[in-house]
Structure 1
Amino acid sequence: MYHLASLLALSAVVAATNLGQRPLVDHQTSALKKNLVSSEALEALILEENLLKRAEDLYKIAELGIEEYNHPTRVVGSPGHYGTVDYIYKTIADLDDYYTLSNQTFNAVVGTVFEARLVIGDREPLSANPFALTPPTYKKEPVFGDLVLVKNWGCEASDYPKGVKGAIALIVRGTCSFGDKSALAGKAGAVAAVIYNDQPFFPLSGTLGSPSPDHVATFGISNEDAMPYIMKLKDGKEVDASAYIDSIVTDSPATNVIAQTKGGDQDNCVMVGAHSDSVSAGPGINDDGSGTISLLEVATHLTNFNVNNCVRFAWWAGEEEGLLGSDYYVSQLSPDENIKIRIFMDYDMMASPNFAYQIYDANNKVNPVGSEELRELYKAWYTKNGLNYTMIPFDGRSDYDAFIKNGIPGGGIATGAEGVKTPEEETMFGGEAGVWYDPCYHQLCDDVSNLAMDAFIVNTKAHSIATYAWSLNGFPKRVASKSEEATPQNSLPDAYRAEYHGPHLII
């Protein structure tokens, strides 16, 4: 936990925020005196100055991490994240009796790489990246061995030749997860593993996922860096290598915050979520402070209205470590509770400075029925407001993933992360082609200055939340599984296969 001074600083932040951020009505007023929510009425209450004030508050909270991390951060397990959770909880608790508010605590697996170095032959591959949640090399010292090329995809024990024992395994990406490849290399006796991209022109970084005692220190490299060594090995030549990783993988308590309207049909819930944590490298004011703030603003102003369907807000912990909070939440739902969630909407990175208005390209052929209807609702709203939009892959990069995999329709909007804006998008949205949508993605400079306030306010308007809180008429109904023990499904096809699980590739 954090020191008394930090607690006092956090209390001051929350107190200052609550002044001027209170809803426009007295919450003791009878619900009968409130109007039914409408998109236009809710949108009118979303103000740029309130969004900016909350961003400043979150940055002050991130500064609670300076003593431990030497810079502001809200990474899960840090004082900055504990402070963020308290800030969210206290803000919602201040809204009197409109919401049922709860915390959900679980253990988050957190990994930190302090130092890493890979040398193959006589050089260090420029693309070398240690994987997230990689264990360290033996005794956190450099290990040495021949580079050994693994057969096929490295997804079967038989793919690993005897010569891999005491060596460094070189494995192609594909077919099975990075974690499976690392574990199989470890079982075969490798002292480290290097996974190279099967696609040209891109470096390879990802996560090993849930820790295994068989995992070995694992790097990713590009196809271009790997090919010269592969050619030598196939010609029967020897290639020596060394690997070094100083890292730690630990369990840390983490907390989701859940708030549900007391009004509205409790058996038909509209759910929306954002993640409350940042990466360790920075304060995460856009990623995903912006989504956190959007939800807080909408939850605050929704109290001015009645709803026909309950609205459930969630702030997830541990997204940056691999969607840990949302995974845990969905895993704890009983079949009866699962089926009460009619739709899940994801708010992740609402204000990237070189933004594009992005909609997840979810459809009913590959995703639970209803995902496509949400996508079309977003498209219609942008069009109605004279705004361009673009579609992005629905590939598991954010907290919708667990919902989709468990039969709950989902989707969402974003403004872009490390992807590069195209010339066509420069014409559509302004900004600069050839530059990341968020040049400060996962970096220390993701601070208050890293927000495009015009995109921020547009994406906080919450049209989809208000629309479905008002009515789900015509929206596909959830269909229960015939098996009482099975999770309710919504005709989820086998075709949904995410390459990501959060910000990292998993396969």
Structure 2
Amino acid sequence: MRPGTTGTTGRDRGRRRPAWRRPATALIAGLAAMALVACANAPAPPDSNVALGDGAGAADGADPGLPDRLAGAVSEEAAYAHLEAFERIADQHDGNRAVGTSGYDASVDYVAGVLREAGYEVQTPSFDVRTFTAGDARLTVADAPVTTEVLSFSPATPPGGLTAPLSVRPSAPEDPTPGCDAADYQGMPEGAIAVVERGSCEFGQKSQVAGAAGAVAVIIVNTEDAALPATLGDTENVVPTAAVTRTAGQTLQDGQQATLVLDTTIEQQSSRNVLAETKTGDPDRVLMAGAHLDSTPEGAGINDNGSGSAALLEVAEKLGAEPPAGQRVRFAWWGAEEIGLVGATKYVEGLSEQDAARVALYLNFDMVGSPNAGYLVYDGDNSDNLGGEAGPPGSETAEQVLTDALVAAGAPEPEGTAFDGRSDYGPFIEAGIPAGGLFTGAEEQKTPEQAQKWGGTADQPYDPCYHTACDRLTNIDRTAFERNITAMGSAIGRFAVDMSGVPAR
């Protein structure tokens, strides 16, 4: 999962702009026709219990029993075998599956191979992506070292670093946007290193605005005593930017002499998505389901997001390429999510307006096996007021269907999680496509109330191995993983058969 608004971000803490009303533009060729042969374990002929009441909402030619059968067919053990394969791939390729690495390419080949064996025709379209690597990151203030970390896609400082006085920008408790506007830098000396607090705009905006006001670098002070592995994204005209913890930031004083050293490299590379689509169902009414396939460079990424990728692969296998569905089902495994949702964004931006309108709904699965698991569903209607925005109409239906599916799978009562664009659903809702998804939590801490309801440990992260080398098979809660896989099968089956509650666009 991309560092995001719940903790570490390209977009800082706060509400996202409701830009989903703007339609996507640009052109893309449609997917080729899918394979004629269904996988051997595709759903059986209709003979199971109806999952959708009397089936009145099912599209022509669709089998209302499909959701129940698919939920019963998907297997945690089979999905776990895919996780084992992802860990083997990482171990054979320098310990990770990050964008631009042989480990990621091997992951693409593995997923594509499984899908072809299941009867799908598979595409692995490439896209251009900027990659980022960081070496040394040092901050010295008044001749004393201060622990710091570089934000992804920060420019490097000159060799030997840059030395300048600090300019601590004042912020009021009621101001949600410190360092986001030109007015925040009034009176700052030319050539200073700006020190600003987190706020509700993108970090790239902070760096860009500070640079335009004359800052030679930016230090962002976190609102908590925790790491801030954030990103500047694709923002242009940014300056070298690093972050410190809240306590470290409180020691920084206006006018102190500071030296910042950031050793970074930004390169242009190519990566790939994986796409597969059923042959049956209405090609003008498409259900999409996706998960990001890349890890961070720090490790194998077995929960983030091997778990979502493996679960989705298992659902695709069991659904088969020719299910009795009313809608086409298009599966996607995205590349370069960890560095800014690049694969999903490139895909959505490449859709023509007509092709975007054919995508009726997008479901996202990012981290569904966290070891201190939460049971979280994207808050599509913003009814929980968690700091996101309501998604396009139909997102509230996705939330309800996924919530019901989790409960039916044996999970305790789920909660909402902010619909803030943090994962690959972000580009879809920006393009006006309704979306939803499941999530078992990342670096945020489980509350005592949640621990009482769900089990696990209060006041500890949902995933203590988030973006670290310990995100391996030992980092998976197999009970949560199984419940989420079952819920995914049920929800994908439901929308494949019945899109009621999701308006046509």
Q: TM-score range by the shorter chain?
A: 0.7 to 0.9
C-alpha displacement at 1:92, in angstroms?
A: 1.2
8 A Cα contact 1:166 1:190, kept in partner = yes
Q: Tell me the residue number matched to 2:71.
A: 43
Could you say which residue in structure 2 is the equivalent of 1:301?
A: 318
Quote the residue 1:444 is aligned against. Answer: 469
1 CA distance for matches of 2:429 and 2:84?
Answer: 34
- Residues 149-177 of structure 1: CA distance to partner in whole angstroms, max 9, x if unpaired? 34774444565457643331223333543
After the TM superposition, which residues 398-417 of structure 1 pair with which residues of structure 2 at under 5 Å, given as runs? 398-417=423-442
CA distance in 2, matches of 1:316, 1:470: 25
Render the CA deviation track for 1:422-445: whole Å, top value 9, x for unaligned.
222222222211221111111111
Task: With the length of structure 2 as denominator, give the TM-score of the two structures.
Answer: 0.80
**Is residue 193 from structure 1 mapped to residue 218 from structure 2 by the alignment?**
yes
Determine which of 209, 214, 231 is the counterpart of 2:233.
209
Deviates more, 1:389-398 or 1:367-376: 389-398
Task: Please say if 1:279 is aligned against 2:304.
Answer: no
Matches within 5 A, 1:313-462: 313-363=331-381, 366-388=390-412, 389-461=414-486, 462=489
Q: Deviations along 1:472-501, whole A, 9 cap, x unmatched?
A: 2x323133xxxxxxxxxxxxxxxxxxxxxx
Q: One-letter code of the match for 2:348? A: V
Among 126, 132, 135, which residue is 2:155 paired with? 135
> Which letter maps to 1:207?
T
Q: Scaled by the length of structure 1, what TM-score is found?
A: 0.80
Q: Specify the code of the residue in structure 2 equivalent to 1:186.
A: G
Distance in 2 of aligned mates of 1:100 and 1:340: 20
State the Cα distance separating 1:117 from its structure 2 match.
Answer: 1.1
Q: For 1:129, give the aligned amino acid.
A: E
Q: CA deviation at 1:385?
A: 4.2
Q: Which residue of 1 aligns with 2:23?
A: none
Deviation string for 1:241-263 (max 9, x for gaps)?
Answer: 11111111112201111111110
Q: Is the 8 A contact 2:308 2:365 kept in 1?
A: yes
Q: Which residue of 2 aligns with 1:65?
A: 93
1:54 pairs, out of 79, 82, 90, with 82
Shift of 1:384: 3.5
CA distance in 2, matches of 1:75, 1:170: 31
Quote the residue 1:267 is aligned against. Answer: 284
Identify if the C-alpha distance between structure 1 residues 410 and 163 changes in structure 2 by more than 3 Å, giving closer, same or farther: closer
Asked if 1 retains the 8 angstrom alpha-carbon contact of 2:276 and 2:330, the reply is yes
Alpha-carbon separation, structure 1, partners of 2:188 and 2:394: 51
Pair 424,150 (structure 1): closer, same or farther in 2 beyond 3 Å: closer
Of residues 309, 321, 342 in structure 2, which corresponds to 1:292? 309
Q: Aligned pair in 2 of structure 1 residues 103, 159: CA closer, same or farther (>3 Å)?
A: same
- Look up the equivalent residue of 1:470 and give its one-letter code: V
Secondary structure, counterpart of 2:469 in structure 1: coil
Bigger RCO (CA 8 Å, 6+ sep): 2
Alignment-derived partner of residue 273 in structure 2: 256
Specify the SS of the correspondent of 2:337: coil
Partners of 1:403 and 1:162 in 2: how far apart? 41
* C-alpha distance in 2 between matches for 1:334 and 1:216: 35
1:180 counterpart SS class: helix
Equivalent in the alignment of 2:242: 219
Pick closer, same or farther for the CA change 1:273–1:246 going to 2, 3 Å. Answer: same
CA spacing shift, 1:175–1:327, aligned 2, 3 Å: same
The gaps in structure 2 that reach 5 residues or longer are 1-38, 45-60, 172-177, 383-388
CA distance in 1, matches of 2:439, 2:308: 9
Question: Does the CA contact (< 8 Å) of 2:444 and 2:461 recur in 1?
Answer: yes
1:149 to 2:168 alignment: yes
Distance, in Å, in 1 between the alignment partners of 2:408 and 2:302 is: 29
Q: Alignment partner of 2:89: what SS?
A: helix
Counterpart-to-counterpart distance in 1, 2:399 and 2:62: 30
For 2:371 and 2:179, locate their aligned partners in 1 and report how far apart those are by CA, in whole Å: 40
> Whole-Å Cα distance in 2 between the matches of residues 266 and 242 of structure 1?
58
Residues 194-249 of structure 1 show CA distances to partners (whole Å, capped at 9, x for unaligned) of 1224x46665442111053x3221112244433343xx53xxxx311111111111
CA distance in 1, matches of 2:441, 2:343: 22
Name which of structure 1's ranges 427-436 and 383-392 shifts more when overlaid on structure 2: 383-392
C-alpha distance in 1 between matches for 2:280 and 2:395? 25
Q: Secondary structure at the match of 2:210?
A: helix
Equivalents in 1 of 2:132, 2:452: separation in Å? Answer: 40
* 5+ long unaligned stretches in structure 1: 1-21, 28-32, 67-71, 480-507
Letter in 2 for 1:294: A
Looking at structure 2, the residues matched to 454 and 443 of structure 1 have their Cα atoms a distance apart, in angstroms, of 22
State the 1:280 CA deviation.
0.2
Note if contact 1:151-1:160 (Cα within 8 Å) is conserved in structure 2. Answer: no
Instruction: Indicate the RMSD between aligned Cα atoms, in angstroms.
Output: 2.5
Q: Residues of 2 paired with 1:286 and 1:138: CA distance?
A: 37
**Does the aligned pair in 1 maintain the 2:62–2:497 contact within 8 Å?**
no
Query: 1:353 is paired with a residue of what secondary structure?
Result: coil
Deviations 1:61-104 (A, max 9, x none): 112322xxxxx1000000000111111112112223xx342222
Identify which range, 78-87 or 152-161, moves more after superposition: 152-161
Q: What is the letter of the counterpart of residue 49 of structure 1?
A: E
Which secondary structure state, in structure 1, belongs to the residue aligned with residue 100 of structure 2?
coil
Partner of 2:502: 476
State the match for 2:101 in structure 1.
Answer: 78
Aligned residues: 436
CA contact (8 A) 1:203 1:223 kept: no
Aligned ranges 1:70-149 → 2 under 5 Å: 72-96=95-119, 99-126=120-147, 128-139=148-159, 141-149=160-168
Identical-residue share of aligned pairs (%)? 35
